[in-house]
Structure 1
Amino acid sequence: MMPWNLDIRAQACRWGARRGRSSRGEPLGRARWRARAALARVRGPAAEEFRRRGFELVPCDLRVGPVSVRARLELDRRRVLFDPASLAELREAMRWAGLDRPADPLDLVLAHELFHLFDPGCPDELAEAAAHMFATELLGLDYFAGTLDEVQREFRRSGGGTRAGGWLGRWLTTLCILVLACPAVADVLLVPLDDRPANLLFVRQIARIGGVEVVVPPRHLLGRFLRSGEPGAIQNWLRRTAEPGDTVFLSADMLCYGGLVASRAAAVSQEQALDRLETVRELAATGVTFEVFAAVPRLSLRTSEAQAPHERKLAEWATKPGNPPPEDVPAWAVEEYLRVRARNLAVLLRLVELARERTIARLVLGQDDSHATGLHQLDQERLREAMKGNRSVSLVSGADEIAMDMLAGWIARRAGVQLAVRLVYSDPEAAERVPPLESLPLDRMIRDHLALAGARVASAGPADVELHIQVPLAKPWTVPEDSHRPDAEAFVAGVLQAMNGGRRVAVADLALVNRMDPFMAQAVIDRVPLWHLEGFASWNTPANAAGTAVAQLVVHRVAQAGGKGWSLHRLLESEKTHQAFLLARMIDDYGYQTLVREQARPMAAGLPPDPDPLLNLYGPVGLQIRVELIGWARELYQRNFRGQTVCLEPLDRKARLGPMDLEVVLPWPRVFEVEARLDLRLEPTDEPCRTPGKAGLNPRP
């Protein structure tokens, strides 16, 4: 027997390298580390480990349509379900491959499930490889029986017969097992704008809905609020992690300055920032693909602590570029402000050059919080001039949602899907108006985000999805009076009518800035089956909310329409992440931003933005938020979501929403946002999607 960490690992990585991976085996090393971490917790056979933890082993039929499932963990019931018929098929596959040494199929699947008990993260390709390594070591094997099904199916399809044709079949099968053991799919890497939920958690969730798992730097390298990220360490991480064939979604602001907040400060010189971009050129030359996003600076910039008292006056002055600087602002503060803007513009222009040279495959420049007039308009004019004739560069309105849209577009292109989306405005005349904090008219802004996400507007003919948009109110900064209720309820009635008509619907509520319209939210809770929406968002700026809804609807349709080759596990993970994302928007955008946050503000008043972590000054605030929000969310879930069914379209089977777990934290020392870490269980059923009942409550085939 050859131990995994010797000959088999070397063979797997050599063959993996021929399929586009580097021979240094970085993803394989990560999988092996996870397998070893799980092995360190084992004291006996898998069956004993489960029983010792109070689990019952239950034989039952787990087949879902044409899909055969060998085992499934039920954590809430402390059960491990296994399918004897599927285990018999596995034993036959082992014999077919000439690998029928004494290994009980039940032991194999229990070892596999035990790994997922110890390592409960998303079951992506890396986790599955780690699970196979774990089972191999635990059972003393030199092969991965879990990969046999696909090998057998492919060999039979190619005419190899039912027993693989002697030594050639066994050699080919063993070779395929070794190749499949090494994750051969190129990695998707993300260097986010910062570690706020919208830039890190949301992007990973959008990827997971689309069936992709992204690799990110260790969180401590991304900084936290006023503590900048570590560009040097991130450069080193990229050099270690990115390999030929990988795609990197890269925030230039993180790489050059240490994040969005740091990009507004004067600490990094122009020379330093430009020099850090050379990492992109260096890695692109090795075959790494870069899709880069960068923020065009807003008018309000805190360039240093000394400049902070003058920040607001400088921002007001910058709205009128022709006026002289304010007399009561020191000349050095004005110069520092202009120097930061000039530095950032120089970096953006260099990025445009790199895109023209094809060093960067795609570049998206997003205008951070905007104003109708100002210095940022001059920056945009310079950038548009430099961009002329270069279709790989886009200039759009927004910042925090751009990574989500770019990744959604990448997933859609890879799947060969371009959605047609019909835009339905609550007030069609508002489509030509510029929303608050944005730089482009509403309709243009949404079309740009659809294009980033690989979709198009359905101006005529059938549409794949309808995006219903509640447009910004005349006073978007304050909660509306009761006179707005009829308009909000009419908007929701239109959404419900479309769903009952069998159309797929997503919702972007742009009525208010940085909170959900309470009248719309309550009408949705009371009347709309939220779990059947394709996308839903209402957080922060209009571009943030619209871009988030666009990204979600695109990746969900890719998963549902293009996931026919996916495993049941992958489909369930995609759909449960989609449902968790929908629910989190209601919990965060409405429950927190509209209901709870105002109550928390007095508790946080006077607390410093850079508190000593040992003093835990924000602890009481966070605890109060957590108690109120989690209680509200659990009640909402039990009343409206628990037990509802959703459709897994590729299987034509329903799945039922089970238990929900929720944790809420303050990601930064402020009450501006929360991070809702939500997980829920999705239980497959044998019930087909197309059952008699109210139209629109099952997605159309």
Structure 2
Amino acid sequence: MRRYIKRVVLAALPAVLIAATFAAPPAAAGGGPVDSFGQLAVVPLDDRPFTWYTPTAIAEAGGHTAIMPPKELLGQYFTRGDGDAVGQWWRKNARSVDGSVVAVPMLAYGGLVASRSCDTDLATARRRLQVLDDVKRANPRQPVYAFDVIMRLTIEPTSGYPGQYSGAIRRWSVLMDQVENLGREDLRAQYEQEAAGIPTQIRQDYLCARARNHQINQEMIKRVAAGAVDYLVLGQDDASEFGPHRPEKEALAALTRRLGVSDRVKIYPGADVLGALLVAKHVTERQKATPTVKVEWSRTPGESWVAPYQDLPYATLVDEYVRTVHGSVVNNKDADILLMANTAGGGSLEPFADRVHEAVAEGRLVAIGDDAVAGKVDTELRDLLAPRIRIGELAGWSGWNIGLSIAQAAVRYAVLQPPSKARGWGSGQAGHKRSAVLLRAATAHTALLLHEHVHTDLYRNQVLPNVKAFAEQNGDDPQHITKVLPQANALAVKELRPLADELFATEFAGVPLRLGTDGRRDQIAVVHRNDGWAMGLAWSRYQEMGAYPRLTLSTSAADRTSAASLAAVPYRTVVKPESTIQASITAVLRNDTADPVVATVTAEVPAGWGAPKPVRVVLTPFQVRRIPLAVTVDKLAPETTATVTVKTEHTTMDGRRYTVSTPAYVTAVWRNLALAANGATVTASGYWQQYQPDRVIDGNRVSAGSRWITEVGDRHWIEVRFPRAEPLDTVTLYQYSGYVLTGYDILAEVDGTWRTVAEIRGNQDATTQHSFASVTATAVRLDISATRDKRARLYELEVIHRSGA
């Protein structure tokens, strides 16, 4: 049989450097592949990767083609886009597409940054937006989805004028709402003091831009009522509890209700993500896909958490995003998409990582919404998932933007629907065309997932600090690099490229992908290779990095490394030290092909342990089997970990043989009495902000959000109480490096009396373990007499019984 490999290169045009920043259009402006499920015109918010590349990648991942204005019309950073020329481009191309997604700030002002100044007057903005009415009048059946932005609290933060006043403007605008709208006269002096420190011209320009933008927001709502725009999202850019945006939102919501368009106008936090969400809405509606989404929270429930720079409960925002893409949030374990939402707060992330691991093993569409840390991937979650899953298996993962994960998973679900339900083609020649579209869609999905992780994890967590420091060391402004931009760009690429290559090799290469059906049978591919990167700083500042892979997906069976995927759950089993006990490990075996597979599952165990008998199974196409394996653990030493290797040897119908193995870990640890999960409770002398005392008994030793921190004081104490009297002989403190507790006493409550079991002075260690003669106690207390700065900081307090246990 002839070997068939189809290559799809997402960045279709050559890369060029504009002012030493990367600029490579993801799709040819004004055109695209002939065969697709549909074509969309996209007017982006600006030319950053997230606002420019991502919407087109979402369209491609959904089997559609997105066309965009030529990049030179979009401007860059402080160079505003040509709103008139962009409008002309859209007017010309709207007739040849199936729908449009339009960023109002680009048409009206020349982009997001341009919308924060009053250089464009109201009359000009109104004139430019007439194109919305003209396009709809000429193409009445083609949907127009638009988005506008409720202006954020401040301007662009640069070291020069006027950006040097960005912090003061933010503080002043918050006080403005509190004093002028909410009557907080006690804050008036502070408000007037902040105003006096900002040049009058800057304050006037800020207020002018707000008033103009608010007027345009209102007129966009009226356009929805008049039928010129089919759907509108007004996104709040960087919100907070107070500020001029608050009454603006109230007025816009009231107008929406008065005009009866609440079903077609949505107001919620978000700016950069809105283009991707509305493209996903186009795709799902055209594909007649209505995905159900089950949401699971990592730590703080979404109903009780507000993400950074937002102003409503996270669960409400997630529900709004899901509804935008034509989906619904359900409490159903069999939902089409499992959205794993990583929130901040106390508690261990391991159970969350285990649930992700198991769901991915079962072949579910799993998207990770990772908003716990502003601006980037949560490294704690990343480190937990790294040995459990491969990122290329996910339906989406974006650091600090759950909206993108939702949009990407929704379009991925849409293309996997059978053609009888969705738009597309059937069998024969049409089926061959559909296969090509499905392959392109899977390639675009994988490229977006890879790009997003390279950007929001590798770049922002590892390379970005070095680029920022380089600019500063050379007398430049990291927020607007003008002196050493080519050198900063070269440094970013030099440091990021090897990290990105390693990420592809370990997390994507060889990952199997189900493409969908061509009307006759399911199509399968594997991530075959990356032919290189188009990479560089997106703007003349350090925050955004473009990293576009040129991926090849292969449909050839010869390029598969296996026909089945194997996982062992749980990833880690905890047992009592020095005991003989039976542990239950489940092998999750998934057929990744459209043909039957015959497999034998075995487990290799350490010497002296009892191993399960081999299990032989036959898997039908894409079937998932859970195979229990009973392992006898024999006297594992305390604080040690042993490996059980679960293995499958399997054979396909054409005689190909594969062997796949995966580890499961067994760890022997003493029972921690001071865990909330074991019934412990905690009280303390006090705490600072959200760093409450219950963080020291939640099982999380590493998360910065899971600490107890106190206000400044001479002495502090924290007390952990058990449900019943327990024997104990060891207390371990997991402290904050650099701010350790230097002097403290540990006391145990024995028969109602506090007994000192350890006295520590002059400590310099971040992890301290204190052993003493065994006592039977109902509580443990930590009395703190000395710290570096008169605050107490503690990640975790662990209490165990080693002797005679």
Is TM > 0.5 for Structure 1 vs Structure 2?
yes
1:524 aligns with 2:388: no
For residues 197 and 40 of structure 2, what CA distance do their matches in structure 1 show? 50
For residues 333 and 512 of structure 2, what CA distance do their matches in structure 1 show? 30
The correspondence for 1:248, drawn from 75, 79, 100, is 100
Q: CA deviation at 1:648?
A: 2.6
Spell out, residue by residue over 1:14-68, the C-alpha distance to the aligned partner (whole angstroms, 9 max, x if none).
xxxxxxxxxxxxxxxxxxxxxxxxxxxxxxxxxxxxxxxxxxxxxx535xxxxxx
Gaps (5+ residues) in structure 2? Answer: 10-24, 180-187, 426-430, 568-587, 593-621, 624-805
Alignment CA distance shift 1:428-1:256 (3 Å) = same
**Deviating more after overlay: 313-322 vs 444-453:** 313-322
Matches within 5 A, 1:327-338: 327-338=196-207
Spell out, residue by residue over 1:552-581, the C-alpha distance to the aligned partner (whole angstroms, 9 max, x if none).
000111112245846222111111221222
Spell out, residue by residue over 1:472-517, the C-alpha distance to the aligned partner (whole angstroms, 9 max, x if none).
348xxxxxxxxx8xx2333211211223345331111112001111
The correspondence for 2:63, drawn from 211, 225, 232, is 211
1:201 aligns with 2:34: no
For 1:478, the equivalent position in structure 2 comes to: none
TM-score (norm 2): 0.60
For 1:673, the equivalent position in structure 2 comes to: 544
Which has the larger helix fraction?
Answer: 1
For 1:8, the equivalent position in structure 2 comes to: none
Equivalent residues, number? 519
1:417 aligns with 2:284: no
For 1:364, the equivalent position in structure 2 comes to: 233
Secondary structure at 1:508 match in 2 = strand
Q: CA deviation at 1:445?
A: 0.5
For 1:472, the equivalent position in structure 2 comes to: 344
For 2:353, the equivalent position in structure 1 comes to: 492
Spell out, residue by residue over 1:508-536, the C-alpha distance to the aligned partner (whole angstroms, 9 max, x if none).
11120011111211222222122221111
Which has the larger strand fraction?
Answer: 2
1:595 aligns with 2:462: yes
Q: CA deviation at 1:585?
A: 2.5
Alignment CA distance shift 1:464-1:546 (3 Å) = same
Contact kept in structure 2, 1:124 and 1:212, CA below 8 Å: no
For residues 202 and 692 of structure 1, what CA distance do their matches in structure 2 show? 30
For residues 333 and 339 of structure 2, what CA distance do their matches in structure 1 show? 15
Q: Which amino acid aligns with 2:44?
A: P
Spell out, residue by residue over 1:377-429, the C-alpha distance to the aligned partner (whole angstroms, 9 max, x if none).
01101100111021211111111111111111111111111000000001253
Contact kept in structure 2, 1:301 and 1:311, CA below 8 Å: yes
Contact kept in structure 2, 1:423 and 1:457, CA below 8 Å: yes
Alignment CA distance shift 1:75-1:574 (3 Å) = closer
For 1:571, the equivalent position in structure 2 comes to: 438
For 2:556, the equivalent position in structure 1 comes to: 685
Q: Which amino acid aligns with 1:666?
A: L
For 1:659, the equivalent position in structure 2 comes to: 529
Alignment CA distance shift 1:430-1:242 (3 Å) = closer
For 1:634, the equivalent position in structure 2 comes to: 501
The correspondence for 1:310, drawn from 160, 165, 189, is 165
For residues 531 and 186 of structure 1, what CA distance do their matches in structure 2 show? 26
For 1:556, the equivalent position in structure 2 comes to: 412
Q: CA deviation at 1:372?
A: 1.1
For 1:643, the equivalent position in structure 2 comes to: 510
Matches within 5 A, 1:152-551: 187-243=39-95, 246-287=98-139, 289-301=143-155, 307-320=162-175, 321=177, 322=179, 323=188, 324-325=191-192, 326-388=195-257, 389-390=260-261, 391-460=263-332, 462-473=334-345, 487-539=348-400, 545-551=401-407
For residues 425 and 591 of structure 1, what CA distance do their matches in structure 2 show? 24
Alignment CA distance shift 1:121-1:223 (3 Å) = closer
Alignment CA distance shift 1:284-1:402 (3 Å) = same
For residues 597 and 303 of structure 1, what CA distance do their matches in structure 2 show? 17
Alignment CA distance shift 1:303-1:575 (3 Å) = closer
**Deviating more after overlay: 598-607 vs 398-407:** 598-607
Q: CA deviation at 1:74?
A: 7.3
Q: CA deviation at 1:666?
A: 0.4
TM-score (norm 1): 0.69
Secondary structure at 1:203 match in 2 = helix
Spell out, residue by residue over 1:584-603, the C-alpha distance to the aligned partner (whole angstroms, 9 max, x if none).
22211111111111122111
Percent of aligned pairs sharing the same letter: 24
Q: Which amino acid aligns with 2:534?
A: E
Contact kept in structure 2, 1:226 and 1:610, CA below 8 Å: no
Q: Which amino acid aligns with 1:505?
A: V
Q: Which amino acid aligns with 2:361?
A: N
Gaps (5+ residues) in structure 1? Answer: 1-59, 63-70, 77-119, 130-182, 475-483, 540-544
For residues 112 and 463 of structure 2, what CA distance do their matches in structure 1 show? 26
Contact kept in structure 1, 2:536 and 2:545, CA below 8 Å: yes
Q: CA deviation at 1:254?
A: 0.5
Q: CA deviation at 1:339?
A: 1.5
Q: Which amino acid aligns with 1:497?
A: E
Spell out, residue by residue over 1:423-465, the C-alpha distance to the aligned partner (whole angstroms, 9 max, x if none).
0001253433221101211000011111111111012463111
Q: CA deviation at 1:261?
A: 0.2
